[in-house]
A and B are shown apart, each in its own frame.
Chain A
């Protein structure tokens, strides 16, 4: 019963926020005016990957989805997908580490490292590297989050869902916009963009922005803030309706991010204090070219993209105020993708419609990942063990630090064919899709270490022997994966004045396999220990690769509108069975390393509800709730058996509740005042497989007042107004527990100009 106390409390708190507003709800509401802007509507015929693959909107589709429109995006200051965490049922993105982290948890599934479970498209460009997910974008027009496996149409790493982000189009808005924001943490953001139609067929927009923050968390060792950040970004969008039947869009964007990050607090010391610098630096460039050719008998769409990533993550790996060891991971990556689809023509009123496509990608990555062992690291992680067992002949290292070097070169390409058939029979819609996905992955690596030590004869202090350590281990591994990814669904649209539909679906999803590059420093460390006669011997071929993870999701749901569209409801219930689950586990033997391996099975079930109501034209209420019970069915990490335990890092509940009321003023300078109150609640979250550390459910209330005129809006806002203390991350490194706190109360002002 205690378990439900936190949930009940959060629900009551959230519902209280909107209760007063809901009191004004008219028992007989009028239908929404025809020109009322509804956030979730997709522009008819829009050239977005969602529209290409799913048509216009999800209203009657057999998909659990949430669309966040431009008004909500501005109201809740969503610049990155991370800002939408918990606004969508069972969708949680913890804000920790750096922009490299980007861990997404959906319906109890998620991952901290390597392959994500949720795919992402930004202006049709499929982001092929998780480290590129967390981008700040100006003028986001819409974010669509599709929950459940989308692998049949989107392929790899979409086993839990897909996020599609669309930025503003020059065909939807013409003029110039400016953004100026200042908030806690000496954070400011400026953005300027301009949208023009050069002629009635050609539109061009250019956007640029810069943001900076001093951060919120202080490193007690240096006395300075460590989660500081500076970001510059730019985007140019060209849209050309070349002919009546041919449209071409090209979006070129870049982002440069320089941040500190990693405000990890020692659980035992109760402070953030470490001596070596942590930072994450990222530069990325992407270009996406979308072409659509509409003919009488078919429509062809081509999406081609190029993505470039240059990043550098450097960590004080021990997060302690002592010279232990540091890690740097520098990477340069080039990605090419191409998605070609053929489908039934627009306006097809036949019972049968179809879609077929080809997807291919090539990804080439070069990465340097040196681990530097410093004085105390050498002493604690190597010498302490060695010399404890042989005090008569102790070892003395010849240098205060040494480097375990690893270089990696990966070639990764994939080819896929997919097809979807849809048959409408009266009010029934039957859909079946199938994808054949092939992936090739090759890793070339070289690990080396050059150092040395003296063995001392303790009896007389003389040097008994000097050993040089010269390790040079090159190698190469290749893996291929072949996946068959089906999906079937049935939906039924009721014969009612207001659209109401129900659906059931079953789909297979998959997360790509890969290589355990993070293991190489440990392999090298063990090789070093082997010189001294200790340490485990890894068989690289046994630990280097892991297979794809698969899941099957069975889902039932409903979409309903009533009161003339003033209330819109989406409900869903799901059951997920995951096999070959990619989990971190300990290799055989006595090692300190961990590897990603296909060790487990899990199941997850839950329910989701999203209700949006507009009782009046001035009042808007929305509430989203997601519940997930995700547990291991079978997971033995080589040391303990966690079967039956909750899957860590995935929250059991997500709640978002919001109400806003717009008071018309209609004066020369002030058109309206909008009051908003909202709350996000998340939890509980278990931090480890043993389930003995957890974050209880917490609630973050926020509010804003927005003054709007014809060409401007000024928003005064606050988040986490209760200054709730909560944790967003927890981990254990070399026996020490660390966590990251969530941001404290934050207030700010945002000015937007539309000229």
Chain B
């Protein structure tokens, strides 16, 4: 049901930008985004950077997407992927895929030095993620610099007590990724770790160090000690230690976004807290 709603949401901006022709209805939309990229080379190294993406989509008739990527590490000129067909699914929103494609420059001239293979992408109305292989050796995952997870479960284990599970539906987690500094701010909203705690509007774990994993599909978050902030005020009494988390900020190409998630553990006030979160509702 929620996926259906997502799909409906996805159509709203489309409808807002639609224009009516004489004979048929056209729904186009444009999206400009600075996206975070994880680049994993065949040699096993991974890095983070930021690139500019521009998407233009026709969603009404014979849906397709045009993509323009400005990444100086790859090319001094922006390269374009034109006319990839969009598939519509109640479960997945809009998805696109190409086994192999040769980008073109602004004049439509093929850029023979750039080969894109295994390209997968998905647009849900809120986010647009994509992944592809560059020149057969570098895998690139591109996703927004702010990632929101709406389906969460937080479990706290305190000494000598039963685990306290808090999976209140209003809990959300937001990760704000700064690719340049390789730091992430993690904010949990409407959360508490034990029943005696007040529900906190939002608790931010600032400046968690990140690094892309060897495989290039995950980001590892680690921090020995974090002073969380609530309403922009430090809360030393809630000092977080041994923070460790793994996030998959982009979809799994084989099943699209079902695996887009984050999970981790930390200690707070002597309690062991574990959490896992998904951007979309878990599959039944």
The reply to whether A534 and B235 contact each other, CB–CB distance below 8 Å, is: no
Check A393 against B235 for contact (C-beta < 8 Å): yes
A343 to B190, CA, bound (A): 62
Give the shortest distance, in Å, between B221 (CB) and chain A (any CB): 22
**CB-CB nearest in chain A for B234:** A393
A475 interfacial contact with B, CB 8 Å: no
Query: Which residues 183-198 in B have Cβ within 8 Å of A in the complex?
Result: 190, 192, 197-198
Total count of chain A residues near the partner, CB < 8 A: 19
A173 close to B (CB within 8 Å)? no
B29 interface hit (Cβ, 8 Å): no
Complex Cα–Cα for A537 and B170 (A): 10
Partner of B202, one of A389, A391, A533: A533
A352 within 8 A of B: no
Partner of B198, one of A391, A393, A537, A590: A590
Q: CB within 8 A of B190: which of A385, A465, A537?
A: A537
Contact with B along A377-408 (1 / 0, CB 8 A): 00000000100011111000000000000000
Q: Is B233 an interface residue (CB 8 A)?
A: yes
B200 pairs with A393, CB closer than 8 A: no
Q: Of B232, B234, B238, which contacts A389 at CB under 8 A?
A: B238
Is B81 close to A, CB under 8 A? Answer: no
Interface 1/0s, chain B 64-79, versus A by CB < 8 A? Answer: 0000000000000000
- Shortest C-beta distance, A526 to chain B (Å), equals 10
What 1/0 mask marks residues of chain A from 35 to 58 whose CB sits below 8 Å from any chain B CB? 000000000000000000000000
B19 at the interface (CB under 8 A from A): no
Highest count of chain A CB atoms <10 Å: which of B192, B198, B230, B234: B198
CA of A580 to CA of B200, assembled, Å: 33
Cβ-neighbour of B233 out of A391, A455, A530 (below 8 A):
A455
Beta-carbon contact of B199 and A589 below 8 Å: yes
Interface of chain A residues 499 through 550 with chain B (CB within 8 A): 530-537
User: CB-CB < 8 A to B190: which residues of A?
Assistant: 537
Complex contact B198–A385 (CB within 8 A): yes
CB-nearest residue of chain B relative to A591? B199
Query: 1/0 contact trace for B224-238 toward A, CB 8 Å?
Result: 000000111111111
* A464 is an interface residue with CB less than 8 A from chain B: yes
Which residues, 529 to 577 on A, are CB-close (under 8 Å) to B? 530-537
Contact digits for B207-241, partner A, Cβ 8 Å, 1 yes 0 no: 00000000000000000000000111111111000
Cα of A342 to Cα of B271 in the assembled complex, Å = 75
CB-defined contacts of A464 to chain B, threshold 8 Å: 233
With a CB–CB cut-off of 8 A, which chain B residues contact A531? 231
State whether B237 touches A533 (Cβ < 8 A).
Answer: no
B135 at the interface (CB under 8 A from A): no
B181 CB–A CB distance under 8 Å? no
Find out whether the CB atom of B199 lies under 8 angstroms from the CB atom of A393: no
Q: Does B48 contact A (CB under 8 A)?
A: no
Q: Is the CB of B199 within 8 A of A390?
A: no
Does the CB pair A533–B201 fall under 8 Å?
yes
**Contact between B230 and A533 (Cβ–Cβ < 8 Å)?**
yes
CB distance from B174 to the nearest CB of A (A): 15
A384 to chain B, nearest CB (A): 11
Q: Which residue of A lies closest to B197 (CB)?
A: A389
A639 → chain B closest CB, angstroms: 12
Cα of A422 to Cα of B97 in the assembled complex, Å? 76
- Contact flags A143-162 to B (C-beta < 8 A → 1, else 0): 00000000000000000000
Contact A535 B237 (CB under 8 A): no
**B105 → chain A closest CB, angstroms:** 50
Residues of chain A within 8 A (CB-CB) of B233 are 390, 393, 455, 464-465, 532-533
Task: Please report the C-alpha to C-alpha distance between residue A411 and residue B197 in the assembled complex, in whole angstroms.
Answer: 41
B203 CB–A CB distance under 8 Å: yes
Minimum CB–CB distance for A710 against chain B, Å: 74
Q: Are A533 and B234 in contact (CB under 8 A)?
A: no
CB-based contact B230/A390 at 8 Å: yes
> How far in angstroms is the closest Cβ of chain A from B137?
47
Rounded to whole Å, the gap between the CB of A219 and the closest CB of chain B is 34
CA distance A532 to B192 in the complex (A): 15
Whether A535 contacts B235 by the Cβ 8 Å rule is no
> How far, in angstroms, from A30 to B121 measured CA to CA in the complex?
101
**Chain B contacts to A: CB under 8 angstroms:** 170, 190, 192, 197-203, 230-238
- The 7 A-B pairs of least Cβ separation, nearest first, read A533-B231, A533-B230, A392-B236, A534-B198, A533-B201, A590-B199, A390-B235
Selected A-B contacts with CB under 8 Å, 27 pairs: A389-B197, A389-B198, A389-B235, A389-B237, A389-B238, A390-B230, A390-B236, A392-B236, A393-B233, A393-B234, A530-B201, A531-B231, A532-B230, A532-B233, A533-B201, A533-B203, A533-B231, A533-B233, A534-B199, A534-B200, A534-B201, A534-B230, A535-B199, A536-B199, A590-B192, A590-B198, A590-B199
What 18 additional pairs, Cβ within 8 angstroms, besides A390-B238, A532-B233?
A389-B237, A390-B235, A390-B236, A392-B236, A393-B235, A465-B232, A531-B231, A532-B230, A533-B200, A533-B201, A533-B230, A533-B233, A534-B198, A534-B199, A535-B199, A536-B199, A590-B198, A590-B199
A residues apposed to B, CB below 8 Å = 385, 389-393, 455, 464-465, 530-537, 589-590
